Amino acid sequence: MTNHNDSDGGCGFLCLPIGRKSKPLDEKIKDDAYSEDEVDLFAEDYDDMLRSNSVVPQLQDDQFEELPTGDELEDLYKVQVVSKTREKVMFKDLTQSKDHRRHIVIFIRHFFCGNCYGYVKALTKEMPPSKLEKLRPATTVTIIGCGDPILIPQYIEQTGCPYEIYADPSRSLYRKLGFALTTAPPPEPPRYVKKYSLSFMSNLMRSFALVGKSGKLSGGPVVQVGGDLIWIDGELQHLHRMKNAGDHMEVSDLIKLLRRQERELNRREGSTMTKEDGTASKRNSFQRALSRLSSVMSM
């Protein structure tokens, strides 16, 4: 089992560990024009590549898919993320809705990561909103990064991403979900990297453009990896934690999972309808028997 706090080596592909000396928290918030009530969102210095208090459980292989407990989920739902317009949004609102809907939440690495750039491009090309709306249940995708939210508009422009993107710069959600800290590369480059990621120099230029438009280097800690989660009707059904810097679920595997969930929902509803039809049939038979009995007694 690899050490999930591993900060040794590179990401295999360009992860661009751009950093800078961090300003004091109060000065940073003042520079970025955050109001005082937003201090809690940036309570930790997210420019640091690896903080000593960022503890990640040493998970066994079969624990990477374990779902949080009910209490852990309630704690998770209280966390706020930041939108591209710097509005605070409750994480719970990204996972639940009034209608019958499935919510996929993708936690990416830092905004300069070439691997995650490729993954967002793959999702955009192979799982567009028009396709997701035709699934059963209708499906929404949300992406969350761990860098400065000021980078989001330019990131959306670069990736062509049609989904909502939010930031968790304090990494509260990442820690509560037990996401690993590692720069270890995948054993084999995933398909989304081979097909959609840029070359080293192209991603370097993309990163410079991202910095140039925003004036920010706070893409998020290089060592922080994420994961992929699925909610259906407000209940968490699936959790995949990344084991390395290129371990998002392949889009083809994600689509297969969505189809399996659809078949399971159909099977359950079919079973329920069969039971209801059987009950109705028995009720009708009973009513017919009563009618015949009444006719006999009236003769």
Q: What is the pLDDT of residues 203-222, one digit of tens each?
A: 667 666 666 655 556 888 99
Residues facing residue 139 across a β-bridge? 102
Quote the pLDDT of residue 270.
Answer: 74
Q: What is the pLDDT confidence band of residue 83, given thresholds at 50, 70 and 90?
A: very high
Of 23-27, 129-133, 156-160, 237-241, least confident by mean pLDDT is: 23-27
Looking at per-residue pLDDT, the higher value among 263 and 42 belongs to 263
Percentage with pLDDT > 70 across the chain:
63
Q: How confident is residue 164, by pLDDT bands cut at 50, 70 and 90?
A: very high
Using only the alpha carbons of the chain, give its radius of gyration. 24
Distance CA 212, CA 226 (A): 26
pLDDT at 284: 63
Each residue of 252-292: pLDDT tens digit?
999 999 999 999 988 888 765 555 555 555 556 556 655 66
262 CB neighbour count, 10 Å cutoff:
15
**CATH classification for the domain delimited by 25-47+88-258, as one of 3.20.20.100, 3.40.50.2300, 3.40.30.10, 3.40.50.720:** 3.40.30.10
| 34 vs 240 pLDDT, higher one | 240
CB atoms inside a 10 Å sphere around CB 283 = 10
**Average pLDDT rounded to a whole number, residues 112-127:** 94
Q: What is the mean pLDDT of residues 125-139?
A: 95
Task: Read off the pTM.
Answer: 0.73
